[in-house]
Amino acid sequence: MLIAIFTVTCLAFICTITVVSMKASNMANEQAIQIANEISCRYGQIVSSKIEIAFFAARGMAQTFEAIRNASDTPSRQLLDDIITDTIKSNLDFGAAWTAWEANAFDGNDNQFVNSKGSDNTGRCIPYWYKQNNKINVKALENYDLMGDGDYYQVPMNSESPAIINHFINLSKSTKEMVTSMAFPIVYFGMPVAVAGIDIPLSVFQNLISEIKLFRSGYAVLMDNTGKYLVHPESNKIFSIIETSLKWEKVVQAIKSGTEFIMKDYDNKMLNFIKPIKIGSINKPWALMISVPINEINEKSNNIIITAVLVSLFFLTLQIIIILFLSKSFINPLKDVIVFSEKVSKGDLTENICVNRFDEIGQMAKALNQMNSVLQKMVHEIISQAKTLSQASDELLLNAGDLASNSNLITAQALNVSNGSEEVSTNTHSIAANIEQMSTNVSNLSSTTSKMSKNVNTVSVSISEVSQEMNIAVQHAKDGKRIAIKGVQMAENAGATMGSLHEAAKEIGGVTDLIKKFSHRTNILAINASIEAASAGQAGKGFEVVANAIRKLSSQIRNAAEDISNRINVVRDNIMLSISVIDNVSHIINQFNESSDIITLSIEKQTESAQIIASNAKEADSRALNIAEQIKSLDEWSNDISINVSEMANATVEISNNIRGVSKAISSSNIRIGDVLTFAGDLDSLASKLVNIVEIFRISK
C-alpha cells in the first residue's frame, strides 16, 4: 500500500512539474509576445509617424510646386529653393528635400542654368538640399535618369503614384548615406513632369530602433516591403534580403500582406515577432521584427520550474515522512483489522481487536469487537438450539420407532382377533347345525310321544343321543364363550394400544410444535445475523453467507415440521377411528358372550332334563303327558336357541368384517408411521447438518 501511495505521489509530482513547466513556458512565451507586441506597436507608431510626416511633407511640396508651375509660365527657381529649405528646417528628422523636373518642364530656361546651383550640365531643375554638419547644403541630383540608382525619380514618374524608395545618396565624394525617400509625382496638364521628395536618413530609424532592448540580448530590425533590412544591429546586413528558406518566405509573405506573424527560429534559438507598419496610402507596408532568444524567454519559467521542483521535492519528502509516520499509526491497526476479519470469515470468534485509540479506526475496532461479541452470542445460542433440535429429532425418531412397533403389534393382534372371529363363526354355524338337528330330533320325539309307552327302549336311546348332543352343544357354547372372552381381551388390548398410539401422536405433535418454535427462533437469529453482517460491511460478508444458509435450513425445518404435524394429525384421526371400531367390536363380542351364556345355560338345562328323562324312562308311561309338554317346551326353546345362534352367527360375521376394517386402518397407519419415520430421519439429518455448520465457529467459553 505504501508503494502504491508513493507511486501515486511521484506520478502526481511528475504531472505537476510537467503541467507547471508547460504553463510557465506558455506564460513566458505569451508574456514575451505581449511585450514584443507592445514594443512593436509603440515603436511602429513612431516609425510610421516619422514616415507619414515626411510623406505628407513631400506631398505638400509636390502640390505647392504644381501650383507654382500652373500659376506662371516662368516660375522662380529661387522660390522652389526657399520652400525646400523651409521644409528641411521644419523637422529635425528630415535629412534632405529635393525636386527633379523634366527638361524645360519647370520654366523652359534650362539652358540658362547649366551647371548652376541645383543643376547639372543639362541645366534641368534638380536641386537636392541636405543637412550636413548642422548646415544646409545644395547639390544637383545624380543618376536620376538611371533605373536602379535613380529609382527615387524613375519609379514615381513611371507609375504616376507616390513611392517610398530606400537607396544610397552621395553627399560628397567620400560620404555616402543611406536614406529613405518619400517621392510624389507632379502633374502638369495631366502629364507627370516632375517629382518632389523628402529623404530621411536611415540613421534616424537606427537610433530609434536601437533603443529597443527586450530581455538581455533581444533586438529589433526594420524591414521594407520586400524583406530587405533597413535597420539591423549588424550594419553589414543593411539593404540585404533576409534568408530565402521556407520559413523566412512565410515572413516575407506576412510583411507584404501586412499581417502579424510569429516565428520560432529553432536553428538560431530565437522567437521572432513581426509587426506591420502601414505608411499613408501606399499599399506597401514595412515591418518591425523583434527577435528574442528563446532561452532568455524561458529563463524566468525555468527558474519557476526549478523552484517548483525544489518545493515539490521538499513537500514530497515531507509527505513520505508523514506517510511513514502515519503508516505506523493507521496501517498497522488496519492490518490487525484485516487479520481479525479473516479469522471471523473462517469462523474464529475467539479473538478481539486491541486498539486503544479514539479516532475513526478506534471506533471501527470497537464496532467490530461489539459485532464479534454479538456473533459469539448468536452462534452460542444457535449451537445450543441446534443440539436441542438434534435431541428432539432423536426423540422423535425413537417415538416414531415405538409407534411403528406398537402398530405392528396391533396389526398382529387384529389378525388374531380376525382369526378368532372366523373360528367363532365356524363354531356358531356348527352350533346352529346341531340346534337344527336337535330341533328335528325334538320334532321326531314329539311325533313319537304317542308311541313312547310302546317303545320306551327306543326313547331311552334317543334321550341318550340327545344328552350327548347337548353335551357337545355345551362344549361348543363354552368354546364360543372362551373365544368371545379372548376377542374382548384382544379388543381391549387393541384399544389400549390405540390409546398409546394416540398419546404418542400427541407427544409427536408437541415435538413438532417445539420444532416450529425452534425454527421460528432460528429464523429470527438468522435475520439478526444478516443485519449484523450487513452493518459490519465487507468484514461481515462471510457470516452473511452462513446466516443465509441457516435461514434456508430454518425454512426447510419449519416446512418439514408442518408436514410431520399434518401427517401426525391424519394418523391421530385414523387411530381415533380404529378405537371407535374396536369399541364396536368389543360391544358386539360382549353381546356374543351374553348369548353364549344363555345358550350354555339352556343347553345345561336341556342336559339335566334329558338325564331326568333317561332316569325316569320307566315312568314314561305314567308321565307321557308331562313329557309331551316338556318336549313341546323343548321345541320352543330349540327355536329360540336357533334364532339366537343365527343372530350370533351374523354378529360374528360383522365382528370379522369390523376387525378386517381395523386391520386395513392399522395398515394405513403403518404407511403413515413409515412416513413419520422418514421425516424424522430427514429432520435428524438436517439437525446434524446444522450442528456441523455451526461447529466451524470457535467461540470463547
Q: How confident is the model at residue 105 (pLDDT cuts 50, 70, 90)?
A: very high
Q: Which three cell numbers stand for residue 399?
A: 417415538
> Which range in 28-37, 177-186, 244-253, 471-480 is most confidently predicted, on average pLDDT?
177-186
What whole-number distance in Å separates Cα of residue 580 and Cα of residue 305?
108
Q: Which residues pair with 219 in a beta bridge?
A: 291
Long-range contact pairs involving 322-331 (C-beta distance under 8 Å, separation at least 24): 323/2, 323/5, 323/6, 323/9, 324/2, 327/2, 330/361, 331/1, 331/2
What whole-number distance in Å separates Cα of residue 354 and Cα of residue 336?
8
Place of cell 365356524: 426
pLDDT at 22 over 90: no
pLDDT digits (tens, 9 = 90+) for 486-522: 766 776 776 676 677 667 667 766 766 777 776 677 7
Which domains does the chain possess? 17-294 (3.30.450.20), 369-694 (1.10.287.950)
pLDDT digits (tens, 9 = 90+) for 654-676: 766 766 776 676 677 667 667 76
pLDDT digits (tens, 9 = 90+) for 573-593: 776 776 776 677 677 767 766
> Which range in 22-36, 185-199, 213-227, 434-448 is most confidently predicted, on average pLDDT?
185-199
pLDDT of residue 314: 83
pLDDT digits (tens, 9 = 90+) for 119-144: 999 999 999 999 988 899 999 999 89
Alpha-carbon distances, residue 191 vs 67, 188, 386, 538 (angstroms): 14, 5, 128, 102
DSSP 123: -
pLDDT at 368 over 70: yes
What whole-number distance in Å separates Cα of residue 153 and Cα of residue 169?
13
Q: What percent of the chain has pLDDT over 90?
A: 17
Comparing 484 with 534, the larger pLDDT belongs to 534
pLDDT digits (tens, 9 = 90+) for 418-430: 666 566 567 666 6
pLDDT of residue 505: 62
Lowest average pLDDT, out of 99-108, 418-427, 521-530, goes to 418-427
Q: How confident is the model at residue 155 (pLDDT cuts 50, 70, 90)?
A: very high
Distance of CA 365 to the CA centre of its chain: 27
What whole-number distance in Å separates Cα of residue 238 and Cα of residue 332?
77
- Give the helix/strand (H/E) hosting 265: strand 261-265
Half-sphere exposure of 613 (CA within 13 A, CB side): 30
pLDDT of residue 623: 62
pLDDT of residue 122: 93
What whole-number distance in Å separates Cα of residue 376 and Cα of residue 351?
10
According to DSSP H, which parts of 104-245 are helical? 151-159, 202-209
- Give the helix/strand (H/E) hosting 300: helix 294-326
Residue 133, exposed/middle/buried by CB under 10 A (0-12, 13-18, 19+)?
Answer: exposed
pLDDT of residue 580: 77
Q: How confident is the model at residue 356 (pLDDT cuts 50, 70, 90)?
A: confident
pLDDT of residue 560: 73
Tell me if 696 sits within 8 A of 406, measured CB to CB.
Answer: no
- Give the helix/strand (H/E) hosting 263: strand 261-265
- Give the helix/strand (H/E) hosting 99: strand 96-101
DSSP-derived 3-state class of residue 144: coil
What whole-number distance in Å separates Cα of residue 183 and Cα of residue 99?
9
pLDDT of residue 565: 73
Give the DSSP letter string of 444-492: HHHHTGGGTTT-HHHHHHHHHHHHHHHHHHHHHHHHHHHHHHHHHHHHH
pLDDT at 339 over 60: yes
Q: Which three cell numbers stand for residue 59?
A: 506631398
DSSP-derived 3-state class of residue 93: coil
Alpha-carbon distances, residue 331 vs 292, 323, 326, 361, 604 (angstroms): 55, 10, 7, 10, 111
Q: Which three cell numbers stand for residue 27?
A: 506564460
Core vs surface per residue 291-315: b (16+ CB within 10 A) or e: bbbbebbbeebeebbeebbeebeee
- Average confidence score pLDDT of the chain: 77
CA angle 183, 184, 185 (to 5 degrees): 125
pLDDT of residue 56: 92
Give the DSSP letter string of 394-457: HHHHHHHHHHHHHHHHHHHHHHHHHHHHHHHHHHHHHHHHHHHHHHHHHHHHHHTGGGTTT-HH
